[in-house]
Structure 1
Amino acid sequence: MRYFKKTPFISYEIEIKISLVVLIAFLLSLNLISAYSLKKVRQAQREGFSTKIDLSAELIENQIRLDNYKLPGSSLLNDIRVLSGADMIEIADSAGNRLIAVGVALNRENERMSTPFIRDISVRNRQGLLVYRIRLAGINREEAGLRRLAFLDLIFRSLGLIAGLVAAFLFFRSVMNPYRKIKQQASNLDISLKNYDERDGVEYAVKLFQAVIQELKEKEAILQAMYDNSEKRADSLARYNEYILGSISSGVIICDNQGIITKLNRSATIITGFSESAAHGKHLNEVFGKKHKISQVLRDAIAGKTYSRQEFEINRGDGTTLWIGLTSSQITDDKDNLIGAAVLLTDLTRIKKLQEIAEYREKMAALGEMSAGLAHELRNSVAAIMGFGKLLKKMSLPDARAVDIVDTVIAESMATEEMLSRFLNFAKPLNLTMSRFDIEEVIEECLKISDDQRANKAIEFQINKEGEIPILYGDPVLIKTALSNLIINACQAITGSGRVDISIEASRRDNSIQISISDNGIGIPSEIIPKIFDPFFTTKETGTGLGLALVKKIITAHNGTIEAFSGQGRGTTFIITLPVESRVRVDGKTDLEQLPIEESAHDH
């Protein structure tokens, strides 16, 4: 413990007593100043009242002289009386006879209120003869009120002085009692202050108190250093948490118990399409919208209802939709008080696409297995019909009409055989021959294949490439078949002249490429777009409905997706998404001759 040296100073008790005496002297001087000020106010008021009476008398005198010594009217006198504050104005002749009087005569009650003020003035003519006697009399009521106020002020000042003395005494006792207790407790402590041996008086307790304060300051410095270290660790931990939230692939959105967004990590901005700067510090309804799924889930979490592994389709900030997996929870403090809510988001788009691909494959497998047997049976029947038809043709027929009928039967049987062959080829599982290939070269080959379709049409092709396009891994022959179908489809949809735009774009986010084929042709009615990839769906008399079904089958076999966007008279756009590194493992080759590419994609 650090100790203080003894320094000469006046006793604390004497200091307090002197301070109280000075305070009382100050209050006393305030009382004297107040009394003196009030006295000066009364004096000034009396002088002012006297001046108004004198001025009013002179005004009446001057008015009489201006009117050739005629008596003024009572209304004028009454106005002067009101302005001057006089109670009565009286005018008498030289013999003392009252000629005119306004106001109220003074009585004893008025005189008890205050000493009456009377002003007499004589009016003489030019020869010096007395004409009128003017008297103004009044009670200075304001001065009387000030006198009463002075009396009350004296009483209250005296009471205030007495109260101040009592308060000073009580204050002295209340201030000194703690010191006396400190002194008593300090004398019981076995602590000696260096260079200060006297333990009597408050000074010793004060010195001891100062020594304790000094030690507390030293302890405070140690605690401050410990606090700074803990704060640094807390900042380091907070940054570590920020690094974790910024690095995880799942989106995290946190709001307080009022719905104000406090955190939106990088993955959440990618998934939702809303930036953290635009969302931080704002209400979730303002950012996402009141009816948005994320807003509803966060509000439910604040209200006590949480979700685990729920799947929703949400609207992103750019207007697109996205499937997400969502888990919500409440955030509470160490006393289980609700301080906010959080949601964990997972992008399920790829999983949903894989599920869609798997369902499509199962559907195609079931369809192929069921229809293959039926097609074989039909082929047997068609073969029999064709055999009997050819046999009839070799026999002698009665007339030419019968020959035509037999030829028609044989032609239709052959057409049915061709359709059944195509269907059986479609129903077979695709055997992919995987290799690395350049998609731009494949598209150039597809354009050459489509030359016949645009021979008699003024069709312009435009190829757009964004960024560096990576080398794909897949079956280039089947990919060429699918793209050729779509390009031929676009050419057939254009009547006369038109344009076909083909764009290629690489996506680093999901390691894929996107191929878009657009035309400005007749378009597809929006109500049948969901059906155009179904097998056998067609609106053309000569179509089989297998063209787009085959395209989707090829794209699905490469773990890709295909989507169509169109409207009647607005052209059509097909968007294909293919992974750069396909995980399909197959053996064998695909027979290109068995894959139909002449089928129009507008064959609906």
Structure 2
Amino acid sequence: MVVDEDLLFADEEDLEPATKEPQRWRILIVDDEEEVHTVTRLVLNDFTFEGRKLDLISAYSGKESLELLRDTKDIAVVLLDVVMEDNHAGLDVAKRIREDLNNPFTRIILRTGQPGQAPENKVISELDINDYKQKTELTAQKLFVTVTTALRSFRDLKTIETNRKRLLQLAMSIAHQIRNRTMSIAGFVHIAVRELVAGEDIVPHLDTIRIEASRLEALVSSVSDFASLSRGVKEDVLLKTVVDEAYTATEKKLASKDIVFADVATMNVDVAALMIKADKNLIVRMLQELLVNAVMFRKEDCRIAITATPLNEGCILKIEDNGIGISPEIISYIFDPFFSSRSDGVGMGLCTVRKIVEEHGWEISVNSSERTGSSFEIVIPFRSDSVSKEGGKPDESS
């Protein structure tokens, strides 16, 4: 690996410290007693699930809770008191969450100090709620278990919904791409037949048909490859090792395009001794796609930096280049299937990156400026023991 020891894009004093952190799970506490809010916050203060802490939001009435649910995105769990403005205020909120707000994702946990007001069997059978607890039985340990179970259910439902939308988008894109290719092939076949009868040269038309058929084959291959991506077993992996393997994989992929990676780009790698929990093969593939993207949209002096900045609750993995950049008109489409600004591109590379990021429950964002370069940032939550005990900075050459 060729390494540029100089910092690529800015002087050290000009760099701003990372301020991002993994998105927190939003929990809405709905109760008209201040003491309940205080105790719940104390119990859940240090709670984490999959490396993400909680954002605890308070509402003191059914009406206030519905306003917050309407205006606040992705509230994962509602800890909902039954008796507030009236004896059935919480039951009315639970019903309106599902029916009026059309929200099937937020997990609803009813908590009551007066179980006689809302018999458990009746509530469970008639309302779409996820748990029912008496306040007297909800110890700190049971609250931890209840919230963890609810968050896991919310995560899975959101993943299913995201995958459903992505599948619909992919299916529509595939249909559009195949229709374009087949119409082009059919059109040139018709022209070739007509000119063959007239005794004219049809070789150029046959070449076009061959090219379109090759593009169709590449499209089908890319879809098959994309569909085969699935999250395997997560394990603790050293980021530096993953980057090295991604470099090797990128060399091989670019060689198939008659491009020598070391000849066209220099790299700076600074990921310290950070460990992440991930599917190693998928992360290598993700980095490979980003590196290939940087090279394919490079300027003459191609420089790429991979850095990892520790956060209190994770790290930011950044892949930055000084390439031609992305115009504001298309930047919102770059993760869409089959979107490419290159005439010979299939357009599944960044779509694959997004899928891998989402499979791990991470977050990705991109900043770019035309003629200046692009920066992809991936926020990765991890456990507090994810920093290698060996310490020190790994060797940056390979």
- The two structures have a TM-score, normalised by structure 1, of 0.35
Greater Rg over alpha carbons, structure: 1
Ranked by relative contact order (alpha carbons within 8 Å, sequence separation 6 or more), the top structure is 2
More helix by share: 1
What's the TM-score, normalizing by structure 2? 0.50
